[in-house]
C-alpha cells in the first residue's frame, strides 16, 4: 500500500534506513556503495545495517550484489529506481511539513 501524503513512508522513516537511503541517493544513478563504506557513513553495526538493508531490499528500494575480490567477500548496495522515487517523495513530505509551519 502506498503511504498517504499525510504520513511518512514507514520503510524509509526509520533513522538508520533514512541514512542508508540518503547516502545512496547522493551517488550518481546506478552507482554502488560497498557495505563497509555504508557502515562508516551510517554509523551502524554490521548486524544492524544488514537487517535494515534486507528490509529496504524487501521493499524493492535497494538491490544488493555480492561477489568476491580475491578471497575477500564484497557486498555492494544500489538504490533502485523505486527507491529513488520513494526517497524523493519522502523528502518532499518533510519539506511540506516545514512549509506548512511557515
Partner 1 sequence: MSLTPNEAAAALRDIESAGRRSGQAFGYRMSAPHLVIWGIVWVVGYAGSDLVPHLTNVLWPAVVLVGTIASLVIGALTGRANKVGRAGDGWRFGLLVVVFWVFLVATFTLMHPGPRAQGAFVPLVIATIYAGVGLWMGLRFVLLGAAVAALTLFGFFEIQQHFYLWMAAVGGGGLILAGLWMRSA
Q: Does 26 bind partner 1 (CB under 8 A)?
A: yes
User: Could you tell me the three cell numbers for 84?
Assistant: 529513488
Placement of cell 541517493 in the chain: 25
Q: Which of 88, 92, 63 is nearest to 78 (CA)?
A: 63
Q: Does 97 bind partner 1 (CB under 8 A)?
A: yes
75, 64 Cβ separation under 8 angstroms: yes
Which residues, in sequence order, are bridge partners of residue 32?
78
Piece in contact with partner 1 (CB under 8 A), picked from 4-12, 45-53, 56-64: 4-12
Piece in contact with partner 1 (CB under 8 A), picked from 44-52, 53-61, 93-101: 93-101
Taking the complex as a whole, the smallest distance from the CB of residue 14 to partner 1 amounts, in Å, to: 11
- Kindly identify the residues of this chain, within the stretch 51-70, that bind partner 1 according to CB under 8 A: none
Between CA 77 and CA 19 the distance in angstroms is 13
Binding residues (CB under 8 A) for partner 1: these are 6-8, 10, 13, 15, 18-20, 22-28, 30-33, 37, 40-42, 78, 91, 94-95, 97-98, 100-101
Amino acid at each position: 500500500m502506498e503511504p498517504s501524503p499525510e504520513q511518512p513512508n514507514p520503510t524509509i522513516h526509520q533513522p538508520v534506513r533514512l541514512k542508508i537511503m540518503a547516502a545512496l541517493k547522493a551517488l550518481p544513478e546506478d552507482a554502488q556503495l560497498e557495505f563497509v563504506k555504508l557502515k562508516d557513513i551510517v554509523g551502524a553495526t554490521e548486524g544492524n545495517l544488514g537487517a535494515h538493508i534486507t528490509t529496504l531490499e524487501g521493499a524493492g528500494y535497494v538491490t544488493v550484489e555480492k561477489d568476491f575480490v580475491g578471497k575477500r567477500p564484497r557486498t555492494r548496495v544500489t538504490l533502485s529506481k523505486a527507491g529513488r522515487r520513494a526517497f524523493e517523495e519522502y523528502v518532499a513530505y518533510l519539506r511540506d511539513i516545514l512549509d506548512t509551519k511557515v
